Structure 1
Amino acid sequence: MRVRLRVPVAGQGMAEPAASHRGHDALVAPGAGEAVDAALSRELELLAHRAWPPLCERRVGGWVLRESAGSSRRGNSVWARGDVPDLSLALDEVRAFYAAAGLPATVQITPVSLPAGIHQALDALGFDDTGPTDVCAADLADLAGRLAGGTVAEASVDVPSGASAAAAAGSGRAGGTRTLMFDDIDGSWLDIAGRVLSTFADQRAGTLKVLTNLTIATKYVLCVMDGVPVAVGRGVIDGDWLGVYSMATIPAARGRGAARAVLAGLVTWATDAGASRAYLQVEQTSTAARHLYAALGFQPVYRYSYRRYCYRRPHHAGSPAASLR
């Protein structure tokens, strides 16, 4: 039985997501201090944690301190999923943990982060905000239908382990668009990802270590146009969810349907495996991607950001920071 996607709906006990600053962006989700579907938000955070397992983690009360050799903000930040006995002492441990790793102390903040006073505490201690990312979800059947209405690849080809991606790329119809599906990272996939995504360029070593730790079903997709690799994506299946990650298209191929072709390949794979829903994360600055995902029916669930420790502000007695002690 296909499970219908649960999303926050204004007027049904949920606030309309960030109504004052939504504008024409349909994917702006509720952020810290705004009402969300808490159960769905927590579920998606757990899925994302499993889709990017840290190389090292430490528990501090209900928090998970994650470290992954500097690869990705998620892999090197605190997952504030639960309460802590003493907020001030917990933040001291956070700063010490990341200082020992040679990384800036960073806390991922969502509308369901705990404890309730964490936002004010980070403000008082001088944690900056590196910009928001929206988590969005869609029903797979609806997504497949919308993708079928646009330009997609002529075929999706599963490439056996050890087979040549170059040979598979050149075997299609001249002038056509193909998607090649890999169970493991192929060199051509990695080359395209490294041209667009910092996690596969500057942070490649740590990223590859993280991906080798994955224990859930994973598929890597490479889109080839006119025999030339131009776009990539990565999908994971966890329960009935497809997680969409590492979407990247080289600048010269943008606007030609490459991202749609990659998504179509992932959706077909996930549907055949029995999944019924999809989720992804899209940064506020990724304008073209946001337009595409909104057109394909993705709906915002919640917004998160990364708060990074920069300095300790001087404060006087009675200020919010002084009250942390």
Structure 2
Amino acid sequence: MSANDLCRLLEELCLTAWPALKTIHDDGWLLRFSQGHSGRSNSVTCLSAGVLPVAEKVDRAEAAYIREGLPPRFRITPLAPAGLVAELDRRGYLRQEENLVQSAAIPSGLAPTADGLDWRLETAPAVDLLASYAAALPLPAREADPMRRLLDAIAVPTLYLSAWDGDRYAGSALGVADRGWLGVYKVLVAPEQRGRGLSRRLMTRLLAAGEAAGAARAYLQVGGANQPALATYARLGFQTVYRYQYRQLI
């Protein structure tokens, strides 16, 4: 598979795994709106260049995001059409943090070690898990309902892994299984649990659950400046496939 084909496949998997509450399809571009919860679900993703002028489509995108009460935002991936970055520069869009899309083969026979925590694996998010995740992040109150609705909208199998220290939330991660791939999302360790290797144990258990669900490979998205996460993922064999950056009009 070529690099461009793999990029397109992973973009499609990401769009399915993390949906939007509203979507406009415009000549190869997806305009996604979710009341502000997460960049991926509140930005333009380009799957193909299309045939219409870039400036014309940017005009329509800006108008649509303004109607939704959201700042116009684009995800610039290797699939973005020629001329889009220059057009956004001309309009004064700001460059935001670079993100990496990484993938790895899931090793067979992963054997998570016992650590004294209570581990739960569920196919739907429990109420206490969502509340604990939101408190540990912390999640702005206005995004709690959009996040719940986004999770409900995922149309492929999901794996909600969480760790609990007694009745206290320790950490969690979401796995989304689709076409032999496991997408890794929402990895979070509670502040008081950090520095103890829990993120790696979360990942190991989630990958093992993904393999049991039929996945042979995994992918994830991580901020380019998140050195602790990058180190954890590298130890598990993840390598960067491509990079993307948000561009936002302020």
Provide TM-score, normalisation by structure 2: 0.93
For 1:78-93, list aligned pairs within 5 A: 78-84=44-50, 85-93=52-60
Equivalent position SS for 1:269:
helix
2:162 to 204, 222, 230: 222
Which position in structure 1 is the counterpart of 2:243? 303
Which position in structure 1 is the counterpart of 2:79? 112
Query: 5+ residue gaps in structure 2?
Result: none
1:60 to 11, 26, 44: 26
**Worse-matched range after superposition: 255-264 or 242-251:** 255-264
Which position in structure 1 is the counterpart of 2:35? 69
For 1:311-322, list aligned pairs within 5 A: none
2:65 to 98, 115, 122: 98
Question: How big is the alpha-carbon RMSD for the aligned residues of Structure 1 and Structure 2?
Answer: 1.9
- Which amino acid is the alignment partner of residue 91 of structure 2? L
Structure 1 residues 74 and 119, CA gap change in structure 2 (3 angstroms) = same
Counterpart CA distance in 2 for 1:138 and 1:181 is: 22
Which position in structure 2 is the counterpart of 1:262? 202
Bigger fraction of residues in strand: 2
- What is the Cα deviation at residue 40 of structure 1? 0.8
Which position in structure 1 is the counterpart of 2:95? 129
1:277 paired to 2:217: yes
Structure 1 residues 71 and 259, CA gap change in structure 2 (3 angstroms) = same
Equivalent position SS for 1:70:
coil
After the TM superposition, list the runs of 4 or more consecutive aligned residues in structure 1 that deviate by more than 4 angstroms.
198-202
1:37 paired to 2:3: yes
Percent identity between matched residues is 33
Equivalent position SS for 1:222:
strand
Structure 1 residues 244 and 199, CA gap change in structure 2 (3 angstroms) = farther
- What is the Cα deviation at residue 224 of structure 1? 2.1
Q: Kindly name which structure, 1 or 2, has the bigger radius of gyration based on alpha carbons.
A: 1
Cα shift readout 1:146-180 (whole Å, capped 9, x = no counterpart): xx5xxx442xxxxxxxxxxxxxxxxxxxx712321
Counterpart CA distance in 2 for 1:253 and 1:180 is: 17
- What is the Cα deviation at residue 261 of structure 1? 2.3
Equivalent position SS for 2:124:
coil
Equivalent position SS for 1:243:
strand
- What is the Cα deviation at residue 192 of structure 1? 3.1
Structure 1 residues 226 and 211, CA gap change in structure 2 (3 angstroms) = closer
Structure 1 residues 40 and 300, CA gap change in structure 2 (3 angstroms) = same
1:141 paired to 2:103: no
Provide TM-score, normalisation by structure 1: 0.72
Query: 5+ residue gaps in structure 1?
Result: 1-5, 7-35, 155-174, 311-325
